[in-house]
């Protein structure tokens, strides 16, 4: 069984850097191709000029003021999910018993 060349990614434009990024998804490129695509030096990263240009184009790298993780909500969701599994399994069990009589 021979390996056919995959051409499905030839027209792909990665979402990296808002459309100005990689020629293919990073996992489909070699390390040197990635560094070339993002205009970076493998040893030193971005040049100062490139960093300033990206900062002016894209702004600061911040997540914003949205709320963080709320452990209480996570706990409630996990308990509710476990209860759904238990209740769902219980209904299925009774339905199976009722249908097999």
In a domain, 1, yes or no: no
Number of folded domains that form the chain: 2
Q: Please check whether residues 19 and 55 belong to one and the same domain.
A: yes
Give me the pLDDT at residue 43, please: 92
Task: For residue 55, name the pLDDT band (cuts at 50, 70, 90).
Answer: very high
- Are 90 and 47 in a shared domain? no
- In this structure, of 19-33, 56-70, 77-91, the range with the lowest mean pLDDT score is 77-91
The Cα–Cα gap between 34 and 44 comes to: 14
**84 found inside a domain:** yes
Provide the whole-model pTM: 0.44
Residues 15 and 38 in one domain: yes
Between 80 and 59, where is the model more confident?
59
For residues 34 and 80, membership in a common domain is answered with no
Domain span at residue 97 reads: 70-101
Partner residues linked to 41 by β-bridges = 45
Between CA 35 and CA 10 the distance in angstroms is: 19
Express each pLDDT in 45-54 by its tens digit: 989 998 999 8
Look at 94 and 13; give whichever has higher pLDDT: 94
Based on the fold, state whether residues 92 and 54 are members of the same structural domain.
no
In-domain check, residue 2: no
Both 57 and 78 in one domain: the answer is no
Task: Return the biggest CA–CA distance within the chain.
Answer: 77
Percent of the chain residues topping a pLDDT of 90: 16
Q: Are residues 12 and 57 in the same domain?
A: yes
- Is residue 17's pLDDT more than 50? no
Phi, psi of 41 (to 5 degrees): -95, 135
Q: Is the same domain home to 51 and 77?
A: no
Rounded to an integer, the average pLDDT of 13-33 is: 73
């Amino acid at each position: 069984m021979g390996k056919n060349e995959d051409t499905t990614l030839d027209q792909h434009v990665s979402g990296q850097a808002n459309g100005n990024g990689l020629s293919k998804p990073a996992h489909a490129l070699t390390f040197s191709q990635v560094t070339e695509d993002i205009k970076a030096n493998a040893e030193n990263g971005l040049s100062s000029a490139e960093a300033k240009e990206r900062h002016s184009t894209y702004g600061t790298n911040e997540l914003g003021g949205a709320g963080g993780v709320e452990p209480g909500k996570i706990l409630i969701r996990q308990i509710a999910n476990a209860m759904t599994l238990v209740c769902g399994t219980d209904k299925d069990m009774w339905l199976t018993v009722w249908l097999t009589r």
